[in-house]
Structure 1
């Protein structure tokens, strides 16, 4: 089965064409600057790449361009869209309504529209991608895979905020968590590496421009760092992470900011960018630190300290730990961050091996010392495989 995987953003569109049975990716790419001038970047074959300027006034033209590129010209990998058996969509917010991936129907789309207030930047684009694919490839099943679904196993005492209860009852204000497909994939890979499916206590650090930590017990999430929205939790590329409400109020008064202004600061001007004053890209900040920039040093120390605090609290929540996992662009590549996070965690049974930690590899690996009571894994994430696999399972059940 070939699954067309779509991740539709407000002005971009990521895609892959994958066989979930063999995990082979035939092609992958991104449409950028939709609504402006339009750029299509297409990867296929043996590391071959195409970059094309394509007129994309809307997402419909972007998806049409992708399908045309997959089936014709230099980037062709299939003869026709008839070879695509299903479409899997990344969906950011499923609220409490969706605790698992689902077949896209009119009812599902309407329920997702009801959830737009919880994800006003993401859900509309996700829905648009589903509606366009149903129009362009009628009759082919579409499946929605939700970022929030994996975290729906959290107990109420973990996901509730200590606000008046009627705020939850009326508006469903609570912690939902994100990056669920990544946390699910990595925690399952860790269980395989531990060769242990039961009584497992795993902490996953998904670290990139957006970052989150989850505590996973016996394959189920019991807590995660992101909340109602992705701004809560860790310090990230441009997001502030955890911040006291009083500090936010004080900043608004001092700077004469509206709530929208303040949220723009929290989401787009804070985090690594805000502290370093240099970049939201940790690689550039690490370089700045090495060149003696003290604000870059501060940003790096804050990033590692934030992660370390969550790891410690989740070891307590799990009553111990079997494996600590690092994934995402920073988690997989920033050896210094892993070193700083693990420093001093010997009492928790986590002892990092500096030689293993500094050895670069694209494969999953254990970077703990041989004598470490708990394992420390670096595991490349594969969210697209989760989407493709869930789509395959749901479509296969339909055919029975």
Structure 2
């Protein structure tokens, strides 16, 4: 069974065409910087490798370019889109409506749309991907896999906000958590690797969006993102944790409209607001050359992560391992080093030589005698989505 997996991020589309149940990768690709004139298209199959830069104005345009690559007579891997039996979609916010993978129906799409206001950088793009895929691949089953589902296990005392009960109970304002597909995937890899010493793990997903999860005995017990995917860690364009009185100050004293504040905190803040750049590669290069703003931003980013490591270690009454994953977590030597330094009291001792190696596989970056393992585990949300989509297809049959 060929399953196309679509993972639409806040400014990117990852895709993989996977043969299930063998998990054989037929092709994969990444479209980055969507909405910009210098968008990047990466595509790989057994017969072709391609990287090019060109304008991609919208997700609709990006998805169409992706379909063209799949069908290309020289580079493609299928002759007809009818060969694809299922399309698995990553959907960021499912609220309390979904605790598991589901087939997409009109009702499900309405629920996804309902949560667009809570995940404005993601759910609209997820929904657009669904609608385009339905149009371009009408014979395939469309499956939704939710980032929020993994965090349904977070206990009430951790997910409830200290606001009036009618808001938490009637309006369901609570911590939902995100990046659950990634946190689930890498935590299972970590537990398989660590064996018995895997009860208390902190997974650190660092990309354009960033989050951390405290995972005890394989389940999520706390998470850094909350009602929407905007709080917690410092991200590419999102501020992360902020004193909410700043919002009232911006509106009441500085004359901002609420929509302007929302745009400011989700699209103009974070690393972009601190440095003028959202790409950590550019920021790191400038920091190495002595750029004061970029140096400060890196230190702030790492400091916020360290605070969450401390709080989650306390919540779990101990720590067996931390896991770095996603684009920045897997590739940024400097962020991992800044995060791990001066955490010896927790049992975290970084091996700088191991940390500097760039290997695309699970590896330890801790010293041999470290009490707590520090792991780098490449995430593969697409394989996890394909697994869940395949299981759903079998249930339907």
Normalised by the length of structure 1, the TM-score is: 0.89
Aligned partner of 1:175 in structure 2 is: 175
Q: How does 1:196-211 map to 2 (within 5 A)?
A: 196=196, 200-211=199-210
C-alpha distance in structure 1 between counterparts of 2:207 and 2:12, whole Å? 18
Aligned residues: 396
**Please, which runs of 5 or more residues in structure 1 have no aligned partner?**
none
Aligned partner of 1:48 in structure 2 is: 49
The answer as to whether partners of 1:335 and 1:357 remain within 8 angstroms in 2 is yes
Greater shift, 98-107 or 144-153, is seen at: 98-107
Q: CA deviation at 1:243?
A: 0.6
Q: CA deviation at 1:215?
A: 0.5
C-alpha distance in structure 1 between counterparts of 2:41 and 2:288, whole Å? 36
Q: How does 1:183-202 map to 2 (within 5 A)?
A: 183-196=183-196, 200-202=199-201
2:373 corresponds to 1:372: no
The answer as to whether partners of 2:6 and 2:14 remain within 8 angstroms in 1 is yes
Q: Cα distance 1:335–1:145, how it changes in 2: closer, same or farther (>3 A)?
A: same
C-alpha distance in structure 1 between counterparts of 2:221 and 2:310, whole Å? 15
Q: How does 1:141-290 map to 2 (within 5 A)?
A: 141-196=141-196, 200-275=199-274, 277-290=275-288
Q: CA deviation at 1:207?
A: 0.9
Aligned partner of 1:330 in structure 2 is: 328
C-alpha distance in structure 2 between counterparts of 1:33 and 1:330, whole Å? 19
- After superposition, the C-alpha distances for 1:77-127 in whole angstroms (9 at most, x for unaligned) are 123223222110111110001111112223322333333333344334323
2:118 corresponds to 1:118: yes
C-alpha distance in structure 2 between counterparts of 1:391 and 1:362, whole Å? 25
Q: Cα distance 1:25–1:239, how it changes in 2: closer, same or farther (>3 A)?
A: same
Q: Cα distance 1:354–1:394, how it changes in 2: closer, same or farther (>3 A)?
A: same
- Tell me the secondary structure at the aligned position of residue 377 of structure 1: strand
Pick the aligned partner of 1:392 from 346, 370, 390: 390
The answer as to whether partners of 1:148 and 1:177 remain within 8 angstroms in 2 is yes
**Please, which runs of 5 or more residues in structure 2 have no aligned partner?**
none
Q: CA deviation at 1:35?
A: 12
Normalised by the length of structure 2, the TM-score is: 0.90
Q: Cα distance 1:229–1:69, how it changes in 2: closer, same or farther (>3 A)?
A: same
The answer as to whether partners of 2:48 and 2:75 remain within 8 angstroms in 1 is no
Q: How does 1:277-356 map to 2 (within 5 A)?
A: 277-356=275-354
- Tell me the secondary structure at the aligned position of residue 309 of structure 1: helix
Q: Cα distance 1:109–1:118, how it changes in 2: closer, same or farther (>3 A)?
A: same
- Tell me the secondary structure at the aligned position of residue 319 of structure 2: coil
The answer as to whether partners of 2:198 and 2:321 remain within 8 angstroms in 1 is no
The answer as to whether partners of 1:34 and 1:62 remain within 8 angstroms in 2 is no
